[in-house]
Amino acid sequence: MNILDKIVEKTYERTKVLDLETLKKEAKALCAEDFPFFHALKGKNIKIIAEIKKASPSKGLICKDFDPVKIAHEYKIADVDCISVLTEPFFFMGDNSFIKKVKNESLKPILRKDFIIEEAQIYESKIIGADCILLICAILNDEKLKKFLEIAHSLGLSAIVEAHDEKEVKRAVNSGAKIIGVNNRNLKTFEVDFKNSLNLRKFVPDEIIFISESGIKTRKDIETLENAGVNAVLIGETFMKTENKPREVLKLRGQLNED
């Protein structure tokens, strides 16, 4: 069993306690905002989605003195475009409560980074304050992908449909995705190939926002992706491992020379 299979298996276990009808009723009672995450990624310059992540299956504990509020404050100073918050508890040491804490500190739109495999999780995402969810092609069939997109959009939630290869990208396009994220990290082996985004960009129509995820470390990486027509980047470990996140953001934006 690969890492992704183990995560999905554990996710099924932790979602058994979710009451779909209760969550649906509570989520639908909330205001459906006008897709702030989607609008934050539009525009000419490449956008930065900065991640808040304590650990990962491939790296283990990434941030020892983990404080989501402090990190959110640093991202606010850096004026990143959006924030991604890991909520998966067993492999990434995340928690749903992180989203509210980050939301209280920053007004930036928030992606709930988790493994959505059940309808109830979408309503839960709305309730805990997320502006966007992640839908991973590798763990969802076409029927669920389309259904989950429809539910998210009905709640005013954006959805990043994540793909890793040509087949998955075409599935994402056909699902009606408005945002597609290409993961440079193979979720089965967790190996990273930065060229993955460059190779797959041509399969995504220009009207769909294209995000490159994982393995982005330098200003040169950003420039390469921007020249290829990438709209946004999702960056986790590069930010989590630096002590001065605002400075790192400036470097990646080309507003400060790299050391």
Only one residue has tokens 């969802």, namely: 140
Query: 126 an active-site residue?
Result: no
Report the alpha-carbon distance of residue 83 to residue 131 in Å, rounded.
10
Query: 2 an active-site residue?
Result: no
Query: 9 an active-site residue?
Result: no
Catalytic member of 88, 213, 237, 248: 213
Catalytic member of 74, 118, 124, 162: 162
Report the alpha-carbon distance of residue 132 to residue 58 in Å, rounded.
25
The radius of gyration computed from the CA coordinates of the chain, to the nearest angstrom, equals 17
Is residue 91 helix, strand or coil? coil
Only one residue has tokens 């092609």, namely: 137
Catalytic member of 158, 175, 183, 212: 183
Question: How many helices and strands (H and E) does the chain possess?
Answer: 12, 10
Residue 164 · residue 187 · CB < 8 Å: yes
Which residue stretches of 192-244 are H helix?
195-200, 219-227, 237-240
Query: 16 an active-site residue?
Result: no
How far does Cα 211 stand from its chain's mean position?
9
Residue 41 · residue 232 · CB < 8 Å: yes
Residue 186 · residue 214 · CB < 8 Å: no
Catalytic member of 53, 54, 108, 126: 53
Catalytic member of 47, 101, 103, 113: 113
Query: 113 an active-site residue?
Result: yes
Angle value at C-alpha 182, between 181 and 184, nearest 5 degrees: 135
Those residues whose C-beta lies under 8 Å from the C-beta of residue 207, and which sit 6 or more positions away, are: none
Query: 53 an active-site residue?
Result: yes
Query: 257 an active-site residue?
Result: no
Question: Which residues are known to be catalytic?
Answer: 51, 53, 113, 162, 183, 213-214
